[in-house]
Structure 1
Amino acid sequence: MTDVPILLSAAQTAARLPYPALLQEIVRLLGDASVQVPQRLVQPLAGGGSLFVMPASDSRVAMTKLITFTPANAGTARATIQGDVVVFDIASGERRLVLDGPTVTARRTAAVSLLAAQRLAPNTRGPLLIVGAGVQGKAHLEAFAEVLQVREVVIASRSGSSAQALVQHAQALGLQARAVGDANAALADCPLAVTCTPAHGVVLDRLPRRDAFISAVGAFTPQMVELGPDLCCHFAQQGAVFVDTADASHEAGDLLQAGLDVGRFATLADVLVQGTQRPAGPVLFKSCGWAGWDLAAARTALAP
């Protein structure tokens, strides 16, 4: 063992997960036959929260993400996602790292959206519309600015103060940024969009540009929704729909509530393995989360 700390803070966790390296590790993981990801356990809690237990392993590393999701914390000083990612060495059984769970969740989710945009978005220049100005909105802003070199962002949020805070963060990064009150109207000017809301209701339902790419990350249960059913059906009929993993078939609330057969849509792994060409029409990428993405983050954090 070395003197490297095992228990990492949010800032230390983020430093171990630079987006270029995390992207590369996600691609490698999707081609790694040793990866095993059992179905995650979601334990409902009193008051409307949930406890998530998400294990995964490969031939060298085993990890479990243990987090709580507390929707009632939205808009308060408390985070909606709290917890840790515990990483073990398989050969020795030693605990190698304890990563900050919300930081891992934010960065690996943004990296997955970023990978989908790199491979599938008809137009990656931006502007980028971000609906939801919380932790996920900030992570997606930083990821798309760093890797895709997006220089202009438009922020929409139910909270004007949160939207303005994210605008100021974007400007501090050297980006052009503004807040808007109508996310649907902004779609006409934004070929890139991500929805990062608590998914309590529809936030986008206007039909998109022909060169649009939307990554919808907020809804990860059948009851949650961010996108209107007509919008989802438009993508399925006039463009293309992709999902992060096959688990979306029973988790993607937006698509399920639109009456779509989610099992027929290609996954991100399918895109990489089959070398899927960039679609000509609008693209919807539905991300529900997967412990495999957390394992990719753990592998990245362990790299020398």
Structure 2
Amino acid sequence: MTHVPSPMPDALDARATAAVLPWNALADEIAALLLSLRDSDAIHVPARIVMPLARDGALFCMPATDGQLAMTKLISFTPANAQTARPTIQGDIVVFDVATGERRLILDGPTVTARRTAAVSLLAARRLAPNPHGPLLIVGAGVQGSAHLQAFASGLGTREVWIASRSEKSAQQLVEQARQLGLQAHVATDLAAATRHCPLIVTCTPAQAVVLHDAPRDDAFVCAVGAFTPAMVELAPALCRDMQDRGRIVVDTQDAQHEAGDLLQAGIAVQGLPTLETVLAQDWPRPRTPVLFKSCGWGGWDLAATRLALRMARRQAAASP
């Protein structure tokens, strides 16, 4: 009997979206897109449109294309939802075929956002962390905290994690998730002690106030993802300047020059700082001094995730009975 592939679904929910974005493959796809930027005229990522909403919310529209597919992410960001059961990020990514204009797939926007953000951090840690084996300190126990926990456990082999959060309940929930993954996990009640113990640090909070004042280790890798506007901040200005003096600061893209609140509020000239693309294109050796990686987000990360998701969804449909 001839095998007839099952039709690919038109839309994927959060669970199905996560299934087509495995951590290591997603980090590799992001790296591949970055390495192709200088040789490809087809990749086009316009500046994202941000429309302010009430109560410090915003509506984001982020289009991109690689010449074969075109996508746009449309999501709302509602920080006030952090105090409720509703997610702070909601929306979708819609994928189109460039040649025909047909819609190919709809992905869950918050899931793509969480996974591509953590995968960018994973890629940066792979290349820039002086001591990539941990332990890991995560400051912020929300969606991004969970995503980074999974990404670092899967992609770096992290075995020990410490969780710091304003909410003891949220911290304990993430500790339990880590233990279910087979990790040694603890609530960090003394943040200063945790920074002395952990060479890997990720801050992924709502970025309404400074949450990290120090990263004293000479092999520290600090990945800051929570602040993505000039008014947002997670890192103390003194910490940013100290990392610049003792080691290196790398930003995800040049868009950080007008989005990286942590660095801008520290008075650091963001323009001219090396980007993740530079690190990959120049094949940097692993640093031996502290590194601060500042991530603000970019539509190209969503484009990379979309390309992988489309291939994976087609593969799954072809393998289905």
3-state SS in 1 of match to 2:123:
helix
Cα pair 1:170 1:177 within 8 Å, conserved? yes
Say whether residues 1:22 and 2:26 are aligned partners.
Answer: yes
Q: Does 1:219 align with 2:223?
A: no
**Alignment partner of 1:9 is 2:17:** no
Pairing 1:115-264 to 2, within 5 Å after superposition: 115-264=123-272
Match for residue 302 of structure 1 among 307, 310, 320: 310
How far does the alpha carbon of each residue in 1:1-52 deviate from its partner, in whole angstroms, 9 at most, with x for none?
Answer: 9621111100000000001111111111112322111000000012221000
Give the root-mean-square deviation of aligned CA atoms: 1.1
Counterpart-to-counterpart distance in 2, 1:263 and 1:61: 31
Which segment is superposed worse, 225-234 or 73-82? 73-82
Question: Residue type of the partner of 1:105?
Answer: T
Distance 2:295 2:193 in 1: 23
The superposition leaves residues 198-217 of structure 1 with CA deviations (integer Å, 9 ceiling, x where unpaired) of 00000001242000001000
Structure 2 equivalent of residue 75 of structure 1: 83
Sequence identity, in percent?
A: 64
Partner SS for 2:114? helix
Task: Provide the TM-score with structure 1 as the length reference.
Answer: 0.98
Contact 2:215 2:222 in 1 (8 A): no
Per-residue CA deviations over 1:206-247 (Å, capped at 9, x if unaligned) read: 242000001000000000000000000011111000000000
Are 2:282 and 1:274 aligned? yes
Shift of 1:185: 2.7
The equivalent residue for 2:98 is 90
Residue 250 of structure 2 aligns with an amino acid whose one-letter code is F
2: distance between equivalents of 1:46 and 1:29? 35
Matched, 1:62 2:66: no
Q: Give 2:295's aligned residue.
A: 287
Following superposition, the deviation at residue 181 of structure 1 comes to: 2.4
In 2, Cα distance between equivalents of 1:207 and 1:124: 15
Q: Deviations over 1:118-142 (max 9, x none)?
A: 0010001111000000000000000
In structure 1, stretches of 5+ residues that fail to align are none
**Which of 48, 51, 55 is the equivalent residue of 1:47?**
55
Letter in 2 for 1:30: L
Runs of at least 4 residues off by over 3 Å: none
Supply the AA of the counterpart residue of 1:122: P
Cα pair 1:183 1:203 within 8 Å, conserved: no
Query: Quick one: distance in 2 between partners of 1:162 and 1:49?
Result: 23
Structure 1 or 2: more strand by fraction:
1
Q: Determine helix, strand or coil for the equivalent of 1:47.
A: helix
Instruction: Give the residue type in structure 2 aligned to 1:14.
Output: A
SS in 2 for 1:98: strand
- The alignment of Structure 1 onto Structure 2 pairs a total of residues equal to 304
Equivalent residues of 2:70, 2:97 under 8 A apart? yes
Structure 2: distance between partners of 1:281 and 1:15: 36
In the TM superposition, what is the alpha-carbon distance from 1:277 to its structure 2 partner? Answer: 1.8
Tell me the CA shift for residue 75 of structure 1.
3.0
Of residues 203-212 and 10-19 in structure 1, the stretch that sits farther from structure 2 once superposed is: 203-212
